[in-house]
Structure 1
Amino acid sequence: MDFNLDWLLSTDYAQPKNFVVILTILLAGIFLRYLALAWIYHELVYKKLGEAMPYRRLHEQIRLPQVRTEIWYSFLGAIIFAFAGSLILIFWQRGISQLYTQLTWWDLLWIPASYFLSLFIHETYYYWLHRWMHQPKVIRHFHHIHHNSLYTSSFTSFSFHPIEGGLQAIFLPVLILVLPMHFLVMIALLITMSVTAVINHAGVEVYPSDALRSPFFRWMVGATHHDQHHLKYRCNYGLYFTFWDVWMKTEDAGFEKRFEAHTVSQPKKGELA
């Protein structure tokens, strides 16, 4: 079985005029997707869930000037990610990537395996990159832009200095050069990157109260986990998962207690516990 994506390859994207066109299309798509996802999550989850379960909010509403700054840096980041997307198309068109569209019976195993393998590789790359960016001589040059948002929101999710944006964006174009990957897996990875970034920065904990006792959710980075990173800097470096933080003993010692505080409703004064 083959997905008919030949129309994507009918144009030479390396030609300057075509490159500008595809870059513009990708930029618009990436930036508008960011705005829509961040706004919808903020309105439906932070506000609605936060009103119904105020204990799940990690902090109060952020100020508009911060959001404006985050949107500006996210726009700059969208340009970088659009360049990365354009490179992926050119690599695919030139036949130098490991992207493919044809489905075989083997893909029943390889598609889920390659998806989780890609997440593991990305997690490993980002964890060590993130720790490096927190070196005193490094953080002040570019990573501090992301940490200017001490109290994060869904709009913080892609607010990076362009240098940091480049270090993050280069991952996928390099990965598809070496790892065989179905086109659907790449799309799934892009969706995962966007959704988890918003969840982890939105300032409201959405995971269930028993997550830390779950063999699955225990290893997921959530809003509480990443919020502590923004507050304390020197802990909780994970992107999707917590296992590198656990293995390297960089998970904050107070994480579990704070997670419980924001997932279990506390009785009000005068009420029975």
Structure 2
Amino acid sequence: MDFDLDWLLGTDYSQPLNFLLISSILFIGIFLRYIILAWVYHELVYKKLGDSMPYRRLHQQVRIPQVKKEIEYSFYGAIIFAISGSVMLICWQTGLTQLYTSLSLWDWIWVPMSFFIALFIHETYYYWLHRWMHRPKVLRYFHHIHHNSLYTSSFTSFSFHPIEAFLQAIFLPVLVLFLPMHFSVLLALLITMSVTAVINHAGVEVYSKSTLQSPLARWMVGATHHDMHHLKYRCNYGLYFTFWDVWMKTEDVGFEKRFLTHTTKEKNLT
């Protein structure tokens, strides 16, 4: 069975005009995806659920000037991610990547396995990159842009200094050079990155208190976990999962208490 992407191979995207065209198309898709997802999540989850379950909100709604600045930096980031995507496409066309489109019987096992392997590698890369970005000189130089959003919103999810955006954008193009990956896994990873980033920055906890008792869900980063990182800086560095924070003892000791506070009873916003 084939995942038909032959239409993507019909153009040489290494040619300057074609590169500009595909980068522009990717930029529009990436930036619109960010705007729509962030706005919809803010309106339907933060505001609507917050009205019916106020104890799940982690803080009050952020101010418009902050959101405008977040959208501005997200605009720059979308350009960088689009260029990165175009480079990955060219590498795929020239046979440099391990991306493939045909499905075999083995892929019933490898497709989900490669998805979780990629998540683990990305988690590891990001955790240690994130800790490096919190070195004082690095933090002052560019990572502070993301931390200017002390109280986060769904629009914070994509707001990075261009250098940080570049360091994040290069991950997938480099990964597919080495890890065999079906194209559907690549798309699933992109969706996962977008959705989890919005959930973790939106300022409203959507996971229930039972999450802490789940053998799997307890390892997932949520809004409370990442919100504490923005408030305290020196803790909770994880991207998707908390296991590196637990292993390296960088998870805030008050995380579980604060999580339960926002999932078990009504509480004044802090």
Maintained 8 Å contact 2:127/2:238: yes
1:143 aligned residue: 143
Q: 1:267 to 1:127 in 2, by over 3 A?
A: closer
1:103 aligned residue: 103
1:193 aligned residue: 193
Q: How far apart in 1 are the matches of 2:216 and 2:84?
A: 31
Q: How far apart in 2 are the matches of 1:147 and 1:51?
A: 27
Cα displacement (A) at 1:266: 3.8
1:203 aligned residue: 203
SS of match in other structure, 1:17: helix
Q: What whole-Å deviation, never above 9, does each CA across 1:224-272 have from its counterpart, x for those lacking one?
A: 000000000000000000000000000000000000000012499xxxx
TM-score normalised over the length of structure 1? 0.97
1:124 aligned residue: 124
Letter in 1 for 2:261: A
Q: How far apart in 2 are the matches of 1:85 and 1:193?
A: 14
Matched, 1:12 2:26: no
Cα displacement (A) at 1:210: 1.1
Q: How far apart in 2 are the matches of 1:4 and 1:157?
A: 32
Matched, 1:26 2:30: no
Q: How far apart in 1 are the matches of 2:142 and 2:41?
A: 27
Q: How far apart in 2 are the matches of 1:171 and 1:107?
A: 23
Q: How far apart in 2 are the matches of 1:262 and 1:74?
A: 29
Q: What whole-Å deviation, never above 9, does each CA across 1:107-141 have from its counterpart, x for those lacking one?
A: 00000000000000000000000000000111000
Q: How far apart in 2 are the matches of 1:235 and 1:210?
A: 23
Q: How far apart in 2 are the matches of 1:30 and 1:211?
A: 31
1:52 aligned residue: 52
Q: 1:48 to 1:267 in 2, by over 3 A?
A: closer
TM-score normalised over the length of structure 2? 0.98
Instruction: Let me know the Cα RMSD of the aligned residues.
Output: 0.9
Q: How far apart in 2 are the matches of 1:10 and 1:90?
A: 12
Q: What whole-Å deviation, never above 9, does each CA across 1:34-72 have from its counterpart, x for those lacking one?
A: 000000000000000000000000000100000000000
SS of match in other structure, 1:221: coil
SS of match in other structure, 2:141: coil
Cα displacement (A) at 1:4: 1.6
Q: 1:55 to 1:267 in 2, by over 3 A?
A: closer
Q: 1:217 to 1:170 in 2, by over 3 A?
A: same
> In percent, how many aligned pairs have the same letter?
75
Aligned residues: 268
Letter in 2 for 1:125: Y
Letter in 2 for 1:126: Y
Maintained 8 Å contact 2:261/2:267: no
Q: What whole-Å deviation, never above 9, does each CA across 1:152-204 have from its counterpart, x for those lacking one?
A: 00000000000000000000000000000000000000000000000000000
Maintained 8 Å contact 2:54/2:266: no
SS of match in other structure, 1:177: coil
Q: Which runs of 5+ in 1 are unaligned?
A: 269-273
Matched, 1:38 2:38: yes
1:250 aligned residue: 250
Q: Which runs of 5+ in 2 are unaligned?
A: none
Larger mean Cα displacement after TM superposition, 228-237 or 80-89: 80-89
1:176 aligned residue: 176
1:271 aligned residue: none
2:160 aligned residue: 160
Q: How far apart in 2 are the matches of 1:266 and 1:20?
A: 52
Cα displacement (A) at 1:216: 1.3
2:264 aligned residue: 264
Maintained 8 Å contact 2:55/2:267: no
Q: 1:3 to 1:267 in 2, by over 3 A?
A: closer
Cα displacement (A) at 1:151: 0.2
Q: How far apart in 1 are the matches of 2:50 and 2:215?
A: 27
Q: How far apart in 1 are the matches of 2:19 and 2:137?
A: 36
Letter in 2 for 1:73: Y
Letter in 2 for 1:18: N
